[in-house]
């Protein structure tokens, strides 16, 4: 029951009421799935291999990587057409349902069947690494139910043109989160990540139970995980920011001299954005925090924007900076702002889409721009869909998943 509370209160579940995209996968079992019950693909790395090579001995190690389960699907591609949609909810942009990635994340049979967060990072070999929060692992039945699924707190998915590889921990019959804290009752939800010096640097929201009932959990701190590439072995996992107030890592933005780290605080029904930066793009470096007039060495309460989602995007295009966020309090608008600086001020609010699924038990949240997928000045945007009726997520595998749109003429 604990997980039900997490998803409803923190906006971290997903649901979808549209028809399933027509994406096919190979029905040849030797190609479709290396075997959800095939133990030969389990990498039983030992804890010594996982925990060596800590970069800064002064920082406490805060967790480990589970023994790795690797589920691989070989995908058969079929042509599809993006469907342009129109509404009085937005104007001045051309918005289409983006079928390629909608199809990619429409799952059949075994393995990853749905998740939220939907962070993405391009890898040097052309693959895309996706970092998901609470994830269903299990079986999708012919009637599209997934009543044999289990939900775990974090997973990786790696995609290219014809593969869909899921990484998680535990065993196939008892899956576990890929990355786990030392504390038994704590857990990780993913934040954003970047590639630096041939390694993946990923921020994690370290969550803890602080009381009973649906409100009894909170941020504890922000941790930093370093993974080797291309094999994604965890090299170190350390505490980065011992702050339970500002959840730095909601989004990262790589610029010329710095990587900017954006986080949020929640005050009443509103959420406010804050910003830090790491020199040279290395998240292990000492962070600076913007206090409204200068960069300082301690986290600042200065707010660079309000009305942001728990997870949002900041990106740079043609010399300008853009902030994209989902309308808070279960709204349906995906909103875009611009600025001349990575710290704001943010202005020129533009609504680029209104999620048609929102209504009744269904809500949408946490929109992201995926620059590595966005070509020819378009924006590829994902958003998460969820339902307040938790049990409906087991009844329909087309619920609780990311959906994708393509936005053109947005500048």
pLDDT tens per residue, range 10-69 = 433 333 333 333 323 322 222 222 222 222 233 333 333 323 332 344 556 899 998 889
| Predicted pLDDT at 9 | 40
Radius of gyration, CA atoms only, the chain: 20
Q: How large is the average pLDDT for residues 122-132?
A: 95
pTM of the model: 0.85
What is the reported pLDDT for 214? 59
Mean pLDDT highest for which of 86-100, 162-176, 188-202, 385-399? Answer: 188-202
pLDDT in tens, 303-340: 999 999 999 999 999 999 999 999 998 899 999 999 99
- Percent above pLDDT 90 for the chain: 66
For the chain, how far is it from start to end, CA to CA, in angstroms?
45
Chain mean pLDDT for the chain: 84
pLDDT of residue 215: 61
Is-contact 244 220, C-beta < 8 A? Answer: yes
**pLDDT attached to residue 114:** 94
pLDDT-based confidence at 110, cuts 50/70/90?
A: confident
d(CA 194, CA 253): 9
| Range 121-149 average pLDDT | 92
Is the predicted pLDDT of residue 198 greater than 60, yes or no?
yes
Judged against a pLDDT cut of 60, whether residue 194 lies above it is answered with yes
Band the pLDDT of 218: cuts 50, 70, 90: confident
- The pLDDT value recorded for residue 135 is 96
Of residues 37 and 208, more confidence is placed in 208
pLDDT of residue 59: 59
- CATH T-level fold of 2-408: Tachylectin-2; Chain A (2.115.10)
Average pLDDT over residues 374-388: 93
Condensed to tens digits (0 to 9), the pLDDT of residues 255-279 reads 999 999 999 999 988 999 999 999 9
In the prediction, which pLDDT does 23 show?
29
Euclidean distance between CA atoms 35 and 111, whole angstroms: 9
> Could you tell me the residue ranges of all domains in the chain?
2-408
Confidence of residue 399 (pLDDT cuts 50, 70, 90): confident
**Overall average pLDDT of the 372-385 stretch:** 94
């Amino acid at each position: 029951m604990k997980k039900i509370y997490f998803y409803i209160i923190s906006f971290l579940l997903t649901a979808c009421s549209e028809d399933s995209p027509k994406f096919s996968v190979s029905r040849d079992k030797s190609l479709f799935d290396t075997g959800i019950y095939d133990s030969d693909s389990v990498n039983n790395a030992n804890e010594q291999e996982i925990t060596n090579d800590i970069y800064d001995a002064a920082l406490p190690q805060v967790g480990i990587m589970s023994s790795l389960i690797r589920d691989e699907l070989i995908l058969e591609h079929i042509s599809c057409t993006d469907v342009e949609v129109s509404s009085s909810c937005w104007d001045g942009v051309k918005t289409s349902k983006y079928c390629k990635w909608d199809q990619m994340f429409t799952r059949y049979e075994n393995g990853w069947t749905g998740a939220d967060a939907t962070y993405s990072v391009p890898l040097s070999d052309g693959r895309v690494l996706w970092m998901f929060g609470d994830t269903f692992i299990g079986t999708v039945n012919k009637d599209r139910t997934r009543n044999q699924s289990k939900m775990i707190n974090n997973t990786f998915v790696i995609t290219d043109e014809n593969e869909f590889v899921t990484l998680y921990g535990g065993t196939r019959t008892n899956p576990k989160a890929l990355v786990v804290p030392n504390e038994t009752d704590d857990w990780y939800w993913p934040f954003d990540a970047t590639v630096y010096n041939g390694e993946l640097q990923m921020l994690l929201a370290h969550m803890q139970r602080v009381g009973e009932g649906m409100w009894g959990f909170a941020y504890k701190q922000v941790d930093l995980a370093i993974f080797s590439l291309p094999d994604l072995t965890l090299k170190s996992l350390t505490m980065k920011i011992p702050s339970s107030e500002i959840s730095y890592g909601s989004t990262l933005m790589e610029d010329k001299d710095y990587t900017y780290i954006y986080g949020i605080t929640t005050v009443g029904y509103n959420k406010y954005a804050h910003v830090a930066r790491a020199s040279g793009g290395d998240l292990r470096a000492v962070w600076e925090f913007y206090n409204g007039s200068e960069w300082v060495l301690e986290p600042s309460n200065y707010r660079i924007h309000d009305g942001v989602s728990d997870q949002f995007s900041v990106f740079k295009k043609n010399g300008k900076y853009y902030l994209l966020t989902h309308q808070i309090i279960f709204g349906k608008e995906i909103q875009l702002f611009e600025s001349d600086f990575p710290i704001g001020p943010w202005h020129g609010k533009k609504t680029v889409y209104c999620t048609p699924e929102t209504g009744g038990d269904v809500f949408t949240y946490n929109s992201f721009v995926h620059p590595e997928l966005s070509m020819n000045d378009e924006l590829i945007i994902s958003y998460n869909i969820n339902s307040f009726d938790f049990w409906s997520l087991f009844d329909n595998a087309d619920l609780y998943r990311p959906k994708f749109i393509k936005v053109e003429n947005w500048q």
